[in-house]
């Protein structure tokens, strides 16, 4: 894949934009299947919240990737039997009484005419039709853990046709390599998601002040997501004031952002099915203390070095080693008695104590997108090398315990993570989230400007235009 062009913001119905590409994706998957195999991808199950109320629905990534279909209760079956390739769908039948409550259904006829299925049936026919397929198949692939009821039905049919449980393989890995390389259309959607996410972080920066709660900042960020066309947050937004940032996946709570603390914000949105993932760490009062700045600059240095190393042919191993070395040497300069390996620590502080996660992950339809970080060549596992079209996050961090006496007291309780979304191209890394402020001088300048505006208005009202011109 050469000469990737970012096509800019992507508007309009997801299915309309990607209709042709969805067909290509299905063809690629079918071509890659061994003969006499059947692949079953259930739609995500509705999850009951309480009574007859459900959690907000989000389609399973496999079904979304192959069809763009957003209804629950569906099953996608891809088959290659005696050389014949087929895309079959099982969907909820039309039901006017139910559609009054839950919206129009596409139905089997609509799945053929609108989604391009070769054949489509009511979900009621799943067992019967699938049994006929599996009687001709030698191998079944099934996505596990998505819908337990559908999974049980498929396994029962498989047993009836002589396919043992040991021959049912995980289907989710089949498209790992395929999904790793993003098309120009996908990159455009991811750029839009990243642009919205960056705008939300900048808006939160301008709104942050002593006395604001974590939940208020979360609500403001997610408001900016919504008014700019994002369908939802890509994950539960993390807004962690002060030492709450020491908990990596801390959910936004009711803690108040205090003067002199920092607040760590890890939030991204979903647009057209694709995620952004951004983390920024801000001084609540708009000014980093000297010790906060020491740690912030170290993490930023590690992140920038790793971003610059995101090139065709590079590996995750190289990025992780670079982040580890930069952070380790930086902490030593700041007076930390630290070693990298626990085996050599003899009670000393180790890198894992203050930096317990890797430098990043794949990004796409899933926040932690599919695709192994290693590949097997000639039966030997080796690091996967980056190719144009891959998108990943780069997110080193430091989390300095409030109580660990091995940490210099002046730095205890500080948590910093900085994360951006990066596209691999032949010409080097492209930071999709570059619009989100992260240089300490820019952060301080923008927060000072916001503080002045707030002072002039007499209240902390939103000072950033929330809607982008996408």
Supply 176's token pair.
Answer: 């790992």
Which of 174, 193, 220 corresponds to the end of one domain? 174
Q: What is the pLDDT of residue 306?
A: 98
Which of 113, 145, 174 corresponds to the end of one domain? 174
Do 271 and 304 touch, CB atoms closer than 8 A?
A: no
Do 282 and 266 touch, CB atoms closer than 8 A?
A: no
Q: What is the pLDDT of residue 461?
A: 53
The pTM score is 0.92
Which of 174, 202, 219 corresponds to the end of one domain? 174
Supply 416's token pair.
Answer: 């910093």
Q: What is the pLDDT of residue 379?
A: 86
Q: Per-residue pLDDT for the chain (470 aa), expressed as one digit of tens each?
A: 233 333 344 444 554 667 889 999 999 999 999 999 999 999 999 999 999 899 999 999 999 999 999 999 999 999 999 999 999 999 999 999 998 998 999 999 999 999 999 999 999 999 999 999 999 998 999 999 999 999 999 999 999 999 988 889 999 889 999 999 999 999 999 999 999 999 999 999 999 999 999 999 999 999 999 999 999 999 999 999 999 999 999 988 899 999 999 999 999 999 999 999 999 999 999 999 999 999 999 999 999 999 999 999 999 999 999 999 999 999 999 999 999 887 777 889 999 999 999 999 999 999 999 999 999 888 899 999 999 999 999 999 999 999 999 999 999 999 999 999 999 999 999 999 999 999 999 999 999 998 877 666 655 555 444 567 66
Supply 74's token pair.
Answer: 């569906």
Which residues carry out catalysis?
A: 52, 249, 266, 277, 357, 361, 368, 395, 399, 417, 419
CA nearest to 66, candidates 84, 35, 39, 46: 39
Residue 287 belongs to domain with CATH number = 3.90.230.10
Q: What is the pLDDT of residue 196?
A: 96
Same domain? 158 vs 265: no
Same domain? 242 vs 129: no
Query: Which spans in 312-361 are helix H?
Result: 316-333, 351-354
Residue 97 belongs to domain with CATH number = 3.40.350.10
Is 2 within the bounds of a domain?
A: no
Same domain? 114 vs 212: no
Same domain? 391 vs 425: yes
Residue 360's contacts (CB-CB under 8 Å, 6 or more residues apart) are 306, 316, 319, 392, 393, 394, 395, 419
Reported as type and span, the H/E element at residue 50 is strand 48-50
Is 22 within the bounds of a domain?
A: yes
Q: What is the pLDDT of residue 453?
A: 72
Is 97 within the bounds of a domain?
A: yes
Domain limits for position 201: 181-457
Q: What is the pLDDT of residue 345?
A: 75
Supply 164's token pair.
Answer: 């043992």
Q: What is the pLDDT of residue 364?
A: 98
Q: What is the pLDDT of residue 5?
A: 37
Helix, strand, coil shares, percent, the chain, to 5: 40, 20, 40
Same domain? 337 vs 219: yes
Is 7 within the bounds of a domain?
A: no
Same domain? 161 vs 206: no
Same domain? 358 vs 443: yes
Q: What is the pLDDT of residue 63?
A: 96
Is 236 within the bounds of a domain?
A: yes
Is 6 within the bounds of a domain?
A: no
Same domain? 160 vs 191: no
d(CA 463, CA 460) in angstroms, rounded, equals 8
Query: Collapsing DSSP states into helix, strand and coil, what is residue 216?
Result: helix
Is 398 within the bounds of a domain?
A: yes
Same domain? 62 vs 130: yes
Same domain? 261 vs 332: yes
Residue 90's contacts (CB-CB under 8 Å, 6 or more residues apart) are 74, 75, 77, 120, 121, 122, 123, 125, 126, 129
| Count of domains observed in the chain | 2
CA nearest to 276, candidates 357, 195, 388: 195
Same domain? 198 vs 297: yes
Residue 299's contacts (CB-CB under 8 Å, 6 or more residues apart) are 281, 327, 396, 397, 398, 416, 417, 418
Do 455 and 286 touch, CB atoms closer than 8 A?
A: no
Is 5 within the bounds of a domain?
A: no
Same domain? 125 vs 249: no
């Amino acid at each position: 894949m050469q000469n990737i062009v970012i096509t800019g913001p992507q508007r309009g119905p997801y299915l309309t934009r990607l209709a042709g590409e969805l067909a290509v994706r299905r063809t690629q998957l079918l071509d890659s299947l061994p003969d006499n195999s059947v692949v079953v991808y259930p739609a995500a199950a509705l999850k009951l919240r309480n009574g007859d109320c459900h959690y907000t629905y989000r389609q399973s990534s496999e079904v979304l990737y192959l069809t763009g279909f957003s209804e629950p209760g569906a099953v996608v079956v891809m088959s290659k039997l005696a050389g014949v390739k087929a895309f079959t769908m099982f969907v909820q039948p039309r039901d006017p009484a139910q559609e009054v409550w839950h919206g129009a259904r596409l139905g089997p006829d609509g799945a053929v005419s609108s989604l391009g299925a070769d054949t489509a049936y009511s979900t009621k026919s799943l067992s019967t039709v699938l049994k006929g397929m599996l009687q001709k198949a030698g191998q079944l692939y099934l996505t596990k853990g998505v819908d337990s009821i559908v999974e049980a039905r498929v396994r029962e049919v498989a047993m009836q046709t002589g396919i043992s449980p040991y021959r049912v393989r995980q289907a989710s890995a089949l498209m790992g390599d395929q999904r790793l390389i993003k098309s120009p259309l996908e990159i455009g959607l991811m750029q839009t998601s990243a642009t919205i996410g960056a705008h939300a972080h900048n808006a939160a920066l301008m709104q942050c002040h002593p006395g604001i709660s974590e939940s208020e900042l979360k609500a403001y960020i997610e408001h900016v997501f919504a008014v700019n066309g994002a369908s939802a947050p890509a994950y539960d937004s993390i807004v962690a004031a002060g030492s709450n940032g020491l908990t990596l996946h801390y959910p936004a709570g009711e803690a108040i952002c205090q003067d002199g603390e920092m607040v760590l914000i890890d939030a991204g949105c979903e647009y057209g099915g694709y995620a952004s993932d951004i983390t920024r760490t801000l001084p609540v009062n708009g000014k980093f203390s000297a010790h906060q700045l020491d740690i912030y600059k170290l993490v930023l240095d590690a992140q920038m070095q790793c971003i610059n190393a995101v090139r065709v042919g590079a590996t995750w191993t190289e990025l992780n080693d670079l982040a580890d070395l930069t952070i380790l040497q930086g902490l030593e300069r700041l007076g930390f008695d630290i070693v990298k390996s626990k085996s050599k620590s003899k009670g000393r502080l180790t890198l894992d104590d203050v930096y317990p996660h890797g430098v990043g992950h794949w990004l796409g339809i899933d926040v932690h997108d599919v695709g192994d970080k290693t590949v097997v060549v000639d039966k030997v596992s080796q690091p996967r090398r980056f190719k144009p079209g891959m998108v990943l996050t780069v997110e080193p961090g430091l989390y300095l315990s409030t109580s660990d006496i091995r940490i210099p007291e002046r730095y205890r309780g500080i948590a910093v993570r900085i994360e951006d979304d990066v596209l691999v191209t032949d010409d080097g890394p492209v930071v999709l989230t570059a619009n989100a402020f992260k240089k300490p001088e820019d952060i301080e300048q923008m927060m000072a400007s916001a503080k002045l505006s707030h002072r002039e208005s007499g209240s902390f009202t939103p000072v950033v235009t929330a809607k982008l011109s996408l």
